[in-house]
């Protein structure tokens, strides 16, 4: 059984799923509203002779032809940032407001971080954490090109994130876009499945649980935490949500998006498991985005409210 | 106060408000930074009203849109905005792109062809009868002047200060 076949019991239209996973991923750019407006960003693309198509769910997120454009003026000015379409979803679900305190727990290389900053109008406190110094350098470079100035960067294991440098105050919102098995990126990285093994799924799920727990602890009562991955594995999605529902004061809440999605699953069985897994009913509020549903990469996203 | 007697290059220290509050020798003050942006480029201090300035690394000034308790031992705070601790202070390309549209003087506008040369890191001869030193270089983007980066003007020549990693052939 191939890795993707493992998930076929979860999918409504297996043929369409298989076909979509074979196709190259369309590229997309997000207009950076810290430095320009969506209108001027589009004019600059027109002037540079770069064709684009607007997505129908997020203003300023533009699909480009399959040929990647080379260097161009709007990019050099930080008016644009290359970002896969579906990866623009979790920041919009988190919906941070100007002036709030926000944590991006697994931030590098910073596409979602800079999107959060733009949604905050570059005001308030945005703390971005990653555990890899090299990746943090890439994050800093992206953030500076995009003109982000409300950002504080920490290099640490997100599971042990300290609020001490930030006056020990909790966050209003946190984005937990964790490292994962990444099957959802198959359309841009065909090798991703070569490295797949079940032990790694289990190990990764352990890390994901730790990071999500820390994010819930660091967020105030009534605050919002968004959990997202680019894997189809229930072990790394619903199982992680089910775990934190037991371990921390929080609930999984419904939300609306402008993309086609399937609900989170409450049951999962697989040859790797001794017995089937069952999850809390509320994990059905999570959204599973398969590549064939919107012609994007694969993704999973859940919204949690902190209750204690 | 948490100001230390010497500059610690791995942490962020908020710069003192004025020279009277300075405890670390050679450290720029908030007042000096605001005055410099206003005198050099005509950027009004109100532009930076919500900003705090921090030193991390000798002379490297970071602009952060907010405030925290100083010192802060983290890896980044806002954006690098300015190099001080040398005779001529030098703004970063990122700060010029972010705040340069507020500038009313020492702005040099380039034609499309010259802007490409500048972005590629090339020096060029140019007619400029304004001040020598660091200038904010602009060109037209989407129909309006937009700051690209920092140029150094001396002896009839504009030198591109675009850092190597940011240079592009357009």
- Where are chain A's structural domains? 4-25+84-306, 26-83
CA pair distance A62, A187, nearest whole angstrom: 18
Distance from CA of B170 to the nearest CA of A (A): 6
Per-residue pLDDT, A66? 65
Per-residue pLDDT, A70? 75
Per-residue pLDDT, A274? 92
Please tell me the number of Cα atoms within 13 Å of B69 on its side-chain side.
9
Residue A235 burial by CB count (10 A; 0-12/13-18/19+): exposed, middle or buried?
buried
Per-residue pLDDT, B1? 44
- CB spacing of B79 vs A47 below 8 angstroms: no
The CA-based angle A117-A121-A122, given to 5 degrees, is: 50
- Inform me whether the C-beta atom of residue A132 falls under 8 Å from chain B C-beta atoms: no
The residues of B whose Cβ lies within 8 A of any Cβ of A are 50-51, 63-66, 68-69, 72-80, 92, 94, 97-98, 119, 141-144, 146, 148, 165-166, 168-170
pLDDT(B2) > 50: no
- CB spacing of A147 vs B97 below 8 angstroms: yes
Per-residue pLDDT, B3? 46
Indicate the CATH number for domain A26-83. 3.30.70.1170
The average pLDDT across B16-28 equals: 94
- CB spacing of B76 vs A36 below 8 angstroms: no
pLDDT(B6) > 90: no
pLDDT tens profile A6-31: 999 999 999 999 999 999 988 899 99
* CATH among 2.40.37.20, 3.40.1190.20, 3.40.50.150, 3.30.470.10 for A4-25+84-306: 3.40.50.150
Interface test with A, best of B79, B117, B164 (most A CBs within 10 A): B79
- Inform me whether the C-beta atom of residue A77 falls under 8 Å from chain B C-beta atoms: yes
Per-residue pLDDT, A199? 94
pLDDT tens profile A228-265: 999 999 999 999 999 999 999 999 999 999 999 999 99
Q: Determine whether domain B106-166 maps to CATH 2.30.130.60.
A: yes
Of A269, A276, A264, residue with least CA distance to A303: A264
- CB spacing of A72 vs B170 below 8 angstroms: yes
DSSP string, A35-85: TS-HHHHHHHHHHTT---EE-SSSTTEEE--SSPP-S-HHHHTTSEEE--G
CA pair distance A53, A74, nearest whole angstrom: 16
Q: What is the number of residues in chain B?
A: 170
Of A116, A95, A100, A98, residue with least CA distance to A32: A116
Of A77, A123, A125, the CB nearest to B141: A77
- CB spacing of B64 vs A140 below 8 angstroms: no
Active site residues of A: 230
pLDDT tens profile B118-140: 999 999 999 999 999 999 999 99
The average pLDDT across B141-150 equals: 97
Instruction: Show the low-confidence residues of chain A (pLDDT under 50).
Output: none
Is the interface score ipTM higher than 0.90?
yes
Distance from CA of B85 to the nearest CA of A (A): 22
- CB spacing of B76 vs A40 below 8 angstroms: no
């Amino acid at each position: 059984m191939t890795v993707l076949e493992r998930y076929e019991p979860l999918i409504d239209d297996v043929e369409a799923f298989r076909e979509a996973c074979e196709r190259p991923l369309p590229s997309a750019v997000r207009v950076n509203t810290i430095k320009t407006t969506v209108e001027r960003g589009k004019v600059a693309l027109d002037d540079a002779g770069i064709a684009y198509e607007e997505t129908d769910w997020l203003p300023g997120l533009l699909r480009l032809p399959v040929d990647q454009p080379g260097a161009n003026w709007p990019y050099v000015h930080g008016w644009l940032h290359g970002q896969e379409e579906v990866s623009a979803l979790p920041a919009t679900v988190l919906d941070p407001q100007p002036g709030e305190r926000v944590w991006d727990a697994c931030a590098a290389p910073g596409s979602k971080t800079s999107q959060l900053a733009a949604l905050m109008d570059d005001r308030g406190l945005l703390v971005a954490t990653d555990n890899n110094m090299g990746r943090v350098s890439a994050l800093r470079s992206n953030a500076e090109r995009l003109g982000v100035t409300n950002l504080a960067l920490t290099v640490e294991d997100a599971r042990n994130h300290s609020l001490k440098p930030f006056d020990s105050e909790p966050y209003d919102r946190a984005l937990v876009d964790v490292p994962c098995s990444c099957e959802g990126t198959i359309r841009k990285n065909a090798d991703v499945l070569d490295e797949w093994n079940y032990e790694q799924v289990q190990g990764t799920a352990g890390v994901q649980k730790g990071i999500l727990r820390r994010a819930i602890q660091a967020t105030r009562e009534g605050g919002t935490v968004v959990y997202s991955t680019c894997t189809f594995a229930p072990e790394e999605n619903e199982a992680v949500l089910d775990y934190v529902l037991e371990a921390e004061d929080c609930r999984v809440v419904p939300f609306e998006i402008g993309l086609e999605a399937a609900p989170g699953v409450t049951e999962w069985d697989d040859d790797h498991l001794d017995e089937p897994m069952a999850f809390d009913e509320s994990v059905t509020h999570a959204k599973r985005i398969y590549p064939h549903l919107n012609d994007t990469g694969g993704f999973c996203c859940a919204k949690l409210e902190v209750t204690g | 106060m948490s100001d230390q007697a010497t500059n610690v290059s791995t942490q962020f220290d908020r710069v003192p408000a004025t020279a009277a509050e300075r405890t670390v020798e050679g450290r720029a003050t908030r007042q000096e930074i605001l005055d410099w942006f206003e005198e050099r480029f005509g950027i009004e201090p109100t532009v930076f009203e919500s900003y705090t300035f921090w030193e991390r690394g000798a002379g490297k000034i970071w602009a952060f849109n907010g405030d925290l308790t100083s010192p802060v031992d983290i890896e980044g705070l806002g954006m690098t905005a300015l190099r001080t601790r040398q005779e001529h202070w030098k703004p970063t390309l990122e700060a010029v792109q972010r705040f340069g549209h507020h500038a009313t003087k020492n702005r040099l506008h380039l034609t499309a062809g010259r802007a490409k040369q500048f972005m590629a890191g090339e020096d060029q001869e140019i007619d400029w009868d304004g001040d020598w030193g660091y200038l904010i270089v602009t060109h037209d983007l989407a129909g309006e002047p937009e700051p690209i980066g920092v140029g150094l003007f001396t002896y009839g020549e504009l030198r591109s200060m675009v850092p190597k990693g940011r240079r592009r052939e357009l």
